[in-house]
């Protein structure tokens, strides 16, 4: 029989990823007060401005309190969950979403137990303390099995707590209050779903525990989430106020109904980080954008040939692969463009490696992961890296490290049917290439007008370190390779 003390409660703080991020939003709690947790067990999923990640608890014990509700943005270093590590749950109060200031309840400073309880307390005091582990923000693949909620302690523990409370009450001169029975929480499996699907379910107000999975191995898909809300979407007007089993998605700030003339959406997560980065880039680096329209018919034929090559079996082969390779060769011929501006030291930092960023539209927003040392990769290696980068981004598994250290970026706006654009530099980079849609157009070829595959490229660059001549050479070389891909051999 133990009474929880302040020393037995460990506070787990929102960890720092070491990438300069200062806050994260709690997307989902996987535990509740009273649940038993073990060292390394995932207790919640959070979303930073760069990635959605799962947090494991570094303690063994019983959850005492959750300090913040789902959907709350919490500063790094703020305690988010309290765990009683004393080895029992007699003194644990199920406090859900309690304020941080109420993390330690009154029993933490209660008088010491009377003599009968002293031996047990002494035994706890003599138990060697476990060395505290520095909490870190972890990416994907932490948990190898589904997280399960464990049942709370049963009647024996409650009887012990009641007896201890009665003895203490007698010493204080008043009767002990009657215990309030707490129903035992049933064990529940954590629904299997990828981070983008969890985010979609959160936005739509869908409880994943109520969704019937249709994916492989019981994984919930986006279609499953949409199907869960489909029955309540077309509700008739006369029954709109009737309660429904699935809670409705929370309306954005300022939306009062379907006929509202304005809707306010809080800016946070990836959208907030993107906005801040673009403002910083646009008003720091003087942008210049140049354009070139090029016949890429030969490149498109080469793409079809490479798809049949056994060296590319199982790899993603598309025009973006050869466009990326063309840009890398152009940078090798004009290495001064692969640089960064050091404002503090008033220096131009030349990079002798190319970390090639690929702008990717994901369910969480625009992300720009990069391929490390892309210039040193063969064409099949580059194809494999591109395929992995795209699939990881679409699944919402892009790590913060994958988006650090980029030098030059490609944004493929052509996939949206757009001819081209004037892209803004990724902060800290020297250039970004926008690739437009590849269309069959009339083109003068060998003195005759013929239908040819044509696209428009746009290169934006930082005019502090890249002058017009250098930027023009890089763009012209990229276009020349795409017009005649044999130059990949003669110029490489």
For residues 297 and 485, give the distance between their C-alpha atoms in angstroms, rounded to a whole number: 10
Q: C-alpha 223: how far from its chain's center?
A: 21
Residue 43's H or E segment, with its range, is strand 42-47
The beta strand positions in 304-346, using DSSP E, are: 339-342
Residue holding tokens 């990438």? 19
The beta strand positions in 61-216, using DSSP E, are: 61-66, 73-75, 79-84, 192-193
Neighbours of 286 (CB within 10 A): 10
Residue in 437, 360, 470, 343 with CA at minimum distance from that of residue 406? 360
User: Is residue 259 classed as helix, strand or coil in its secondary structure?
Assistant: coil
Contact of 57 with 135, CB cutoff 8 Å: no
Residue in 178, 150, 189, 199 with CA at minimum distance from that of residue 52? 199
- 463 catalytic? Reply is yes
Q: Which of 67, 352, 445, 463 is catalytic?
A: 463
Question: Beta strand pairing status for 192-193 and 219-220?
Answer: parallel
For residues 453 and 441, give the distance between their C-alpha atoms in angstroms, rounded to a whole number: 6
**So which residues are the catalytic ones?**
463
């Amino acid at each position: 029989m133990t009474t929880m003390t302040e020393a037995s409660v460990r506070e787990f703080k929102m960890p720092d990823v070491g990438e300069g991020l200062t806050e994260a939003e709690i997307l989902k709690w996987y535990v509740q007060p009273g649940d038993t947790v073990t060292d390394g067990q995932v207790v919640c999923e959070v979303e930073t401005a760069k990635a959605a990640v799962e947090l494991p608890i570094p303690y063994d014990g019983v959850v005492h309190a959750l300090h913040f509700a789902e959907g709350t943005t919490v500063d790094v270093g703020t305690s988010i969950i309290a765990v009683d590590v004393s080895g029992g749950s007699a003194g644990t109060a199920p406090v859900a979403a309690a304020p941080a200031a109420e993390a330690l309840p009154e029993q933490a400073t209660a008088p010491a137990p009377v003599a009968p309880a002293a031996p047990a307390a002494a035994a706890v005091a003599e138990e060697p303390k476990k060395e505290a582990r520095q909490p870190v923000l972890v990416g994907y693949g932490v948990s190898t099995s589904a997280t399960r909620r464990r049942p709370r302690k049963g009647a024996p523990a409650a009887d012990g707590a009641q007896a201890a409370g009665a003895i203490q009450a007698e010493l204080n001169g008043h009767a002990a209050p009657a215990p309030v029975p707490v129903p035992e929480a049933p064990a529940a499996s954590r629904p299997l779903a990828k981070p983008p699907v969890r985010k979609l379910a959160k936005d739509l107000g869908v409880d994943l525990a109520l969704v019937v999975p249709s994916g492989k191995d019981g994984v919930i898909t986006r279609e499953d989430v949409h199907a869960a809300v489909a029955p309540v979407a077309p509700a008739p007007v006369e029954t709109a106020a009737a309660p429904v089993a699935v809670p409705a998605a929370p309306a954005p700030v300022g939306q009062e109904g379907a006929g509202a003339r304005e809707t306010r959406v809080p800016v946070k997560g990836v959208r907030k980080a993107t906005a801040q980065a673009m403002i910083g880039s646009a008003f720091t680096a003087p942008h210049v954008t140049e354009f070139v329209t090029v016949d890429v018919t030969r490149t498109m034929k080469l793409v079809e040939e490479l798809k049949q090559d056994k060296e590319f079996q199982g790899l993603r082969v598309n025009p973006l692969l050869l466009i990326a390779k063309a840009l890398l060769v152009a940078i090798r011929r004009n290495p001064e463009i692969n640089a960064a501006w050091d404002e503090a030291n008033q220096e131009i930092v030349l990079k002798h490696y190319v970390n090639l960023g690929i702008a990717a539209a994901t369910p969480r927003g625009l992300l720009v992961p990069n391929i490390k040392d892309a210039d040193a990769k063969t064409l099949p290696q580059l194809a494999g890296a591109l395929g992995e980068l795209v699939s990881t981004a679409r699944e919402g598994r892009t790590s913060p490290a994958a988006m650090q250290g980029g030098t030059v970026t490609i944004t493929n706006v052509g996939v949206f049917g757009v001819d081209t654009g004037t892209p803004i530099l990724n902060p800290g980079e020297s250039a970004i290439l926008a690739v437009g849609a590849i269309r069959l157009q009339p083109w003068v070829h060998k003195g005759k007008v013929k239908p040819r595959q044509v696209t428009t490229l746009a290169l934006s660059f930082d005019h502090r370190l890249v002058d017009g001549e250098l930027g023009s050479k890089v763009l012209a070389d990229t276009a020349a390779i795409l017009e005649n891909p044999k130059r990949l051999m003669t110029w490489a």
